[in-house]
Structure 1
Amino acid sequence: MEYQSGFHSSMKYDFGAQISPGVWKIVLKHDRTEFLAHDITETMVGKSPIPGDEAPADPALLLNAGGNSVLNPLLNILNHENLVGLVEIISTQASSAGGSPKTKHYAVWDYCDAGVLGNWFQPEPYQNKRTKEFDDKEWDPVPETETLDEHMDDQARKDRLENIMESIRDLEDRGGNPQKLEELYSLFQQEQEEEFTNVKKGDRYLPESFCWHVLISVLKALSWLHDGSKNMREDEDGVITIAHDRDWEPILHRNITPSNIFFAHPKRDEWYGRCKLGNYSRLVISNNHPGNFDEDENIGEGKKLVRNHSKALAPPRGTKFQPLKELIGLDADYGHSYPQKVKQPYTILSEWRAFGEIMQAMMMTPSSDNHLNTVRHDTVERNLGGLDYSSLLKNIVLYLMTFNPDEKDQEGKFAFSAEEREAVTTDLLAKAINDFLAWRKSDHPEAKKWIIVEQEYQRENQEDEEVNVAESYAQNQVQDVLNKQDKLFEEVEEPPAKRVK
């Protein structure tokens, strides 16, 4: 038995170059749009007890289960402008010289031809351009009024901060002397203050417009995965709101890294092409549902619709499966700890923190081969405090790194209402878009000149509509001429009427 997919649909593509083992560039014949075809034959075809015969593997059975096939729901889930989309699955016949033809199965994906964000996180290569010898006059002695610590380089200071933090964690774990802990905290704060004075006002890395582009794009992808949110609307005051699907089961990506944020080249006059989140090898559908409304619970004035306090949980990134009961117990122990611990369950806020680190890395000049690790060495306040980016952008990143929907006040009550905890990623996206629109109205030179991809798509759609109207008008004109010609021919061919005597 063979896996039956869209064999006929493969005829609409031309196969091009193989860009990596098992991955081919293909193009649509009618408009030359490029895609990637990933050979999934080994995944789809299992071993058969009959030699030389093919049997469908489990994924093939799932994707070819007639009315219960998961292919269409899968295509719908990945059909988002900011996700690397799965277009379809096709089959072709291929044969080597002298061999019999064999069926090959391919997953067709969006082609992001401009690389990944991780390419930007490499430090500048060191180039020694010195052409003369050293001499002692070039080295200034350390003044007697200054200490050696004041001449430590940035990396040594970061190492010192890390060592202090390790001592603090170790002392806390052992329940050590409170006075010693206080001394370590004081020393850590002092070191941070000294390091902060070394940050030059005006320092920045990637352009702010590019940071906004990635921020909005990835948050759109995450709000769709987490909350099923797609539709945006603008109220009469110009404020953007976004509706989410109340019956959506949150999907956790679990692999938000710079190498999984892809870009396409600009197609028209926009500064940056589409930004898409990809690589779904660790994706988990949580099966979590926030619960039904409770119309009997009273909060403040009158009755309000309230949901329960459950949340989406998934195994840590390195674990494929873990019983829900274990995850609930571990989540009670770890909560929303940061940085993410090895055994800590993965949650929506884990996605936020991972993306927040990436946003910080985009704003800080790389100083080591592991740029994200450098980001984790310090707080978001200290990483971004002295950098030359708008407070609107920095505050969104701060929110990504510090928001806790389960935060409670001193009386043990939730600081945020049930509605505020229901679709937190969608709410953050709406806030980010509104802050972005406010930034666009500012005097920032990039804000005024930046041509965004949505503008160009709108222009393209408008131009296509104008072309369609013009073509329709031309066709109507031609049809009118043909109708007039037909009428003339009918009059010529019609015999004269007989006279009545």
Structure 2
Amino acid sequence: MKSKEPTSTGVQSVPYHDYSDEEEEKEEEPVFEILRKAENNVWIVTRQGDPRKEQYLASPSPFGVRPRGNTAQNRQEADALKSLLSNHNQAHTIRQILNHENLISIAGVMQYQVFTRQQIPDTERNDVQLLVWDFADAGNLSALFRHYPVEHSSFYLPESLCWHVLRSMIRAVTWLHDGKRLVYRRQSSDPESPLLIDWLNVNTDWFSILHRAIEPKNIWFQHPRGTETYGQCKLGDFSTAAVTGHAVDGRNDNKKNDAPDGSCGIALATRQGLKPLETAREALEGDLNLAAMGEGDRPYTLRDEIWSIGATVLTMMTGQAPSHYCEHCRCCHVRFCESGGCLEKKAAAKGCDCLLGGCEHIPEGDECEDSISHWPTCPPRHHCSEVPINIDSLIARARYSKMLRTLVKELLNFDPNGPQRKTVRFFRMWHYASAIEEAYKEWKTETQEGQDYVDIDDDMERRIVLADKEDKE
């Protein structure tokens, strides 16, 4: 297999696979050099010969060799590991999976010599295998929340940043679940023809991966590398990810997004750990009350991943973090409007066609009259300080565009303990991702903030145009 390294501009070249050629040329591995030590067992490295000195993080591989005192054995094991990861293509396989512009991806591997106080001949040195990762040099979303306190639940972080995180996480999940990435190509061979975007398969067969920990502390940022407003946004920490037995065949893209009857037609895991799926299937298909189950035993599907993205973006909009499992009392404090959003319906009856929520058509004192939940009420004995969050009311009052509010409401329109769990199931992710890209395009072209915002795609198109001009010259 051959693949190109990720570009720093945010749009990745698509790896090309030629399964018929058994005499493939070996891909030249990038060579890294250490710049400095960041902390214990973490180094900042760069590619040798890179004029931009793009920085990466290197840390000991979880599969690496640790010195045991027997230098001959260490050397033998290190050579065996290198053969396994390099000659037998295992490192390449892992890198192919964790190789996306919106994931904290593996950039390569390198050897690091462990120095001890005792002098050891070079022929018997102790080497440690280091994995080289993307460096999210701008911190994570949790740090951003801590740095900027919430002043009012009607508006928190800029809408452009909300879109940036939303699209990045949707693209990351589309890759993990479907094995598809968004690519750019010219409509024709003419370099002046419009740029088109498309979802392209990298593998013909892909086993869906559920991340199971999409939350602010695992959403990372890089500083801008070009003219874009925000640098790359990446999903990290794959320690809880589950590779499911659900195979996504790239050749049946015309298949409807509706999954076949039963949980066997979708990617399924338990919320935590690697446990037998019998109880999870029974809960998904039957009438088991999830409130009576431990959080880790509850079924987890693609729809839960989407809900986690919606919960993250809603927190960015309002400062309120919805959860079906309170960390303090283990109860659910999420509520919905049974009529689908009575505050917005009342506003529409008054002639409201406002772009932003929380307008004059929604008085401050109005409350939802149809608030419901499919979970038990948090009892007073829990003494929980968390207040119930009505998703529909919170979104109706948010001072964000109708495009974003509609999307986030759709992302969160799922209660795993409600009747929807039997009917709302997604077989594919990329159909959903395409709809989000269309909504973003509408916001980008029809609002002033969208027109002023420079995203990574804008920067990439500018670079492509400049490259085309240079080729002509």
Q: CA deviation at 1:210?
A: 0.9
The aligned residue for residue 244 of structure 2 is 286
Hey, what's the Cα distance between the residues in 2 that align with 1:290 and 1:222?
14
Deviation per residue, 1:320-347 (Å, 9 max, x gap): x212334423444578969993420222
Alpha carbons 2:208, 2:248 under 8 Å: kept: no
Alpha carbons 1:253, 1:283 under 8 Å: kept: yes
State which of 414, 417, 427 in structure 1 corresponds to 2:431. Answer: 427
Contiguous gaps of at least 5 residues in structure 1: 1-5, 127-153, 155-198, 300-304, 471-501
The aligned residue for residue 213 of structure 2 is 255
Alpha carbons 2:314, 2:320 under 8 Å: kept: no
The aligned residue for residue 20 of structure 2 is none
Deviation per residue, 1:296-335 (Å, 9 max, x gap): xxx9xxxxx9956422112322x2x212334423444578
Larger radius of gyration: 1
The aligned residue for residue 353 of structure 1 is 307
Hey, what's the Cα distance between the residues in 1 that align with 2:221 and 2:459?
16
Structure 1 letter corresponding to 2:91: L
SS in 1 for 2:146: coil
The aligned residue for residue 22 of structure 1 is 41
Q: Identical aligned pairs, as a percentage?
A: 23
Structure 2 letter corresponding to 1:428: Y
The size of the alignment, in residue pairs, is: 366
Find out whether 1:70 has 2:75 as its counterpart: no
Q: CA deviation at 1:96?
A: 4.0
Structure 1 letter corresponding to 2:458: Q
- Richer in helix (by share): 1
SS in 1 for 2:407: helix
Q: CA deviation at 1:233?
A: 7.9
The aligned residue for residue 315 of structure 1 is 270
Alpha carbons 1:62, 1:70 under 8 Å: kept: no
Q: CA deviation at 1:32?
A: 3.6
Counting only pairs closer than 5 Å after superposition, residues 7-156 of structure 1 correspond to structure 2 as 12-30=31-49, 31-40=51-60, 43-45=63-65, 53-54=73-74, 56=77, 60=81, 63-64=84-85, 66-67=87-88, 69-96=89-116, 99-100=119-120, 101-122=125-146
Q: CA deviation at 1:437?
A: 0.7
Hey, what's the Cα distance between the residues in 2 that align with 1:407 and 1:42?
40
Q: CA deviation at 1:363?
A: 0.2
- Richer in strand (by share): 2
Alpha carbons 2:283, 2:290 under 8 Å: kept: no
Hey, what's the Cα distance between the residues in 2 that align with 1:340 and 1:390?
38
Counting only pairs closer than 5 Å after superposition, residues 404-423 of structure 1 correspond to structure 2 as 421-423=426-428
Q: CA separation of 1:306/1:391 partners in 2, compared to 1, >3 Å: closer, same or farther?
A: closer
Q: CA separation of 1:404/1:427 partners in 2, compared to 1, >3 Å: closer, same or farther?
A: farther
Q: CA separation of 1:459/1:367 partners in 2, compared to 1, >3 Å: closer, same or farther?
A: closer
Q: CA deviation at 1:255?
A: 1.5
Q: TM-score, normalised by structure 1?
A: 0.62
Q: CA separation of 1:350/1:49 partners in 2, compared to 1, >3 Å: closer, same or farther?
A: same
Q: CA separation of 1:260/1:340 partners in 2, compared to 1, >3 Å: closer, same or farther?
A: farther
SS in 2 for 1:44: coil
State which of 164, 167, 174 in structure 2 corresponds to 1:216. Answer: 167
SS in 1 for 2:127: strand
Hey, what's the Cα distance between the residues in 2 that align with 1:16 and 1:56?
27
The aligned residue for residue 229 of structure 1 is 180
Q: TM-score, normalised by structure 2?
A: 0.65
Q: CA separation of 1:400/1:41 partners in 2, compared to 1, >3 Å: closer, same or farther?
A: closer
Structure 2 letter corresponding to 1:429: A
Q: CA separation of 1:466/1:210 partners in 2, compared to 1, >3 Å: closer, same or farther?
A: same
Alpha carbons 2:269, 2:300 under 8 Å: kept: yes
Structure 2 letter corresponding to 1:104: V
Alpha carbons 1:209, 1:446 under 8 Å: kept: yes
Alpha carbons 2:86, 2:92 under 8 Å: kept: no
Q: CA deviation at 1:93?
A: 3.1
The aligned residue for residue 399 of structure 1 is 410
Hey, what's the Cα distance between the residues in 2 that align with 1:94 and 1:342?
39
Structure 2 letter corresponding to 1:212: W
Structure 2 letter corresponding to 1:22: N
State which of 444, 448, 455 in structure 1 corresponds to 2:458. Answer: 455
The aligned residue for residue 436 of structure 1 is 440
SS in 2 for 1:249: strand
Hey, what's the Cα distance between the residues in 2 that align with 1:334 and 1:290?
28
Hey, what's the Cα distance between the residues in 2 that align with 1:18 and 1:344?
41
Q: CA separation of 1:110/1:51 partners in 2, compared to 1, >3 Å: closer, same or farther?
A: closer
Hey, what's the Cα distance between the residues in 1 that align with 2:251 and 2:472?
49
Counting only pairs closer than 5 Å after superposition, residues 292-311 of structure 1 correspond to structure 2 as 307=260, 309=262, 310-311=265-266
Q: CA separation of 1:449/1:356 partners in 2, compared to 1, >3 Å: closer, same or farther?
A: same
Hey, what's the Cα distance between the residues in 1 that align with 2:61 and 2:197?
45
